[in-house]
Structure 1
Amino acid sequence: MPVARDIMSPGAECIGANDNILEAARKLTSLGVGALPICGTDDRLKGVLTDRDVVVKVLGKNLDPQQTKAGELAQGEAVTIGADDGADEIFATMARHKVRRLPVIDGHRLVGMVALADVARALPDPQVGDLLEALSTD
């Protein structure tokens, strides 16, 4: 079975924890992605910022996207997957945390992102249905 480094999108770009949400939104747009890892000044992963976070947690709450920092939206410890973890572990982590994207780390270094679509292509059909069901229920 493939491991995360086999199915991830390599070269994920971070948004800095001190960068504002307007910068993050522009980066999401220019890269054509729905999520960006949030990295601190120590180059460690602090969380993941999604396009939904921008809309719901910033714009929806009338916060100023130029004054709100990406790091303010990082909640607790980031959920990650190791580069050598198998598709089954990715599946289990996504289902357990109800996330559709996971940063892939090698040690403490961010090496890519793995999305639900990546896992769906790597898993046998019955597991794909189980994963979609797990992510779609409360």
Structure 2
Amino acid sequence: MTTAADIMHPGAQWIPAGETLDRAAQLMARLNVGALPVSDENERLCGIITDRDIVVSCVAKGHDPSVVTCGDLCQGTPRWIDAGADVSDVLDEMESHQIKRLPVIQDKKLVGMISEADLAQNLSEEQIAGFVEKVYARR
């Protein structure tokens, strides 16, 4: 059985909800990633912030990224997957919520992230085609 831990990109890092968006952008640049899981004060997942969120929801609206926090932009219920979950469960979670990145949690700790690139490197063409059809389909 292929698990979430088998296909994830290890070493993901949290950014605290109270941290500003300019700091998030700097961390993304340093880690060469386009998204960061956002944690509350107890290091529990409370959302994900993307580089696109920073640009579209902050900068493009004339807000100051050195003032706006990651928590200000987090919306909805955060989605995640257990490290031991089967890859079919990973696909179900990503497809049913039309998401492109999924934090991987083990023993209540962040251990990695699964992105479209991870799926492309580890799944069959049929699995990838199904993912693309479901995630990019308009509702």
Give me the TM-score of the superposition, normalised by structure 2: 0.94
The aligned residue for residue 63 of structure 2 is 63
Q: Structure 2 stretches of 5 or more lacking a match?
A: none
Distance 2:102 2:96 in 1: 12
Residue 102 of structure 2: SS of its match in structure 1? strand
Residue type matched to 1:12 in 2?
A: A
Aligned residue number for residue 106 of structure 2: 106
- Render the CA deviation track for 1:37-79: whole Å, top value 9, x for unaligned: 1011111111111111011111121111011010111113211
| Amino acid across the alignment from 2:52 | R
Q: Following TM superposition, where does structure 1 have runs of at least 4 consecutive aligned residues deviating by more than 3 angstroms?
A: none
Which deviations, in whole Å up to 9, do the C-alpha atoms of 1:70-107 show, x marking residues without a partner? 01111132110110111111111111111111000113
For residues 47 and 130 of structure 1, the distance between their equivalents in structure 2, rounded to whole angstroms, comes to 25
**Identity over aligned pairs, percent:** 38
Note the aligned Cα RMSD (angstroms).
1.1
TM-score of the two chains, using structure 1 as the length reference: 0.94
Letter of the 1:57 counterpart: S
23-32 or 114-123: which moved more? Answer: 114-123
Give the aligned residue type for 2:48.
V
Task: Tell me the matched-pair count.
Answer: 138
